[in-house]
């Protein structure tokens, strides 16, 4: 049983490496077999096809990301506290999971698989729902300026992802300062 899980994980790990190092267009099953130490046959024992494998990898990565974003979050935080907390979590995740970050970038822009279902699953999460109640313009019951949701997203999580790509890590002080700048830019009042 342990063997089973290990091999499956090893295959996904190897595919993550492969996609990050060589790109979707150059990640053949032969290389995956070599890298993961699993024969082609065994890969197809665990995954019905290459597409399913990559989608499974995406789901694993997305789950890790989701957990990381909400780590330490509690429901009694104010909207401002929530945003600052999750924003720092996001930066930390992208910073400590650079391979995963690069994979997500590539997966989401490649159209490799449909993403609509994935997004629906994400937004069905009760914690996400709760936060989304605040993260919208004041006139819709939230606490933010009247900005389009894409702007909110880009100014917060998009910024965290961009900062994480910088060669050097930023200090917690710098990050907090940036997060507060962002908060004042998007919050009403």
Query: Closest CB to a second copy among 74 and 109?
Result: 109
Residue 29 interacting entry, from a second copy, DNA, none, C-beta within 5 to 8 Å by type: DNA
Query: Closest CB to DNA among 40 and 149?
Result: 40
Residue 116 CB, nearest approach to DNA (Å): 22
Q: Where are the alpha helices (DSSP H) in the chain?
A: 2-22, 29-36, 40-46, 50-69, 79-96, 98-110, 116-123, 126-134, 149-153, 159-164, 172-186
Q: Are 180 and 84 in contact (CB under 8 A)?
A: yes
Which positions lie near a second copy, rule CB under 8 A? 21-25, 102, 105-106, 109-112, 145, 147-148, 150-151, 153-155, 158-159, 161-163, 165-166, 170, 174, 178, 181-182, 184-185
Residue 158 DSSP one-character state: I
Concatenate the DSSP letters of all residues of 77-90 into one string. Answer: S-HHHHHHHHHHHH
Pick from 58, 98, 100, 82: nearest CA to 156: 82
Residue 127 interacting entry, from DNA, a second copy, none, C-beta within 5 to 8 Å by type: none
Residue 37 interacting entry, from DNA, a second copy, none, C-beta within 5 to 8 Å by type: DNA
Query: Closest CB to DNA among 51 and 174?
Result: 51
| CA pseudo-torsion sign 138, 142, 144, 146 | negative
Residue 112 interacting entry, from DNA, a second copy, none, C-beta within 5 to 8 Å by type: a second copy
Residue 1 CB, nearest approach to DNA (Å): 7
Cα-Cα-Cα-Cα dihedral of 94, 147, 84, 92, to 10°? 0
Which positions lie near DNA, rule CB under 7 A? 3-4, 7, 26-31, 37-45, 48-51
């Amino acid at each position: 049983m342990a063997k089973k899980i290990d091999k499956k994980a090893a295959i996904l790990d190897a595919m993550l490496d492969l996609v990050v190092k060589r790109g979707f267009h150059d990640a053949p099953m032969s290389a995956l077999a070599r890298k993961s130490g699993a024969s082609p046959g065994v890969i197809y024992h665990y995954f019905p096809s290459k597409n399913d494998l990559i989608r499974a990898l995406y789901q694993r990565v997305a789950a890790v990301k989701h957990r990381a974003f909400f780590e330490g979050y509690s429901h009694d935080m104010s909207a401002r506290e929530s945003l600052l907390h999750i924003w720092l979590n996001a930066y930390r995740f992208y910073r400590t999971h650079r391979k995963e970050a690069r994979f997500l970038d590539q997966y989401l822009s490649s159209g490799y698989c449909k993403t609509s279902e994935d997004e629906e699953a994400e937004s069905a999460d009760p914690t996400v729902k709760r936060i989304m109640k605040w993260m919208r313009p004041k006139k819709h019951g939230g606490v933010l300026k009247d900005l389009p949701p894409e702007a909110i997203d880009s100014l917060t999580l998009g910024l965290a992802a961009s900062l994480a790509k910088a060669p050097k890590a930023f200090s917690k002080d710098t990050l907090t300062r940036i997060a507060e700048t962002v908060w004042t830019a998007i919050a009403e009042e």
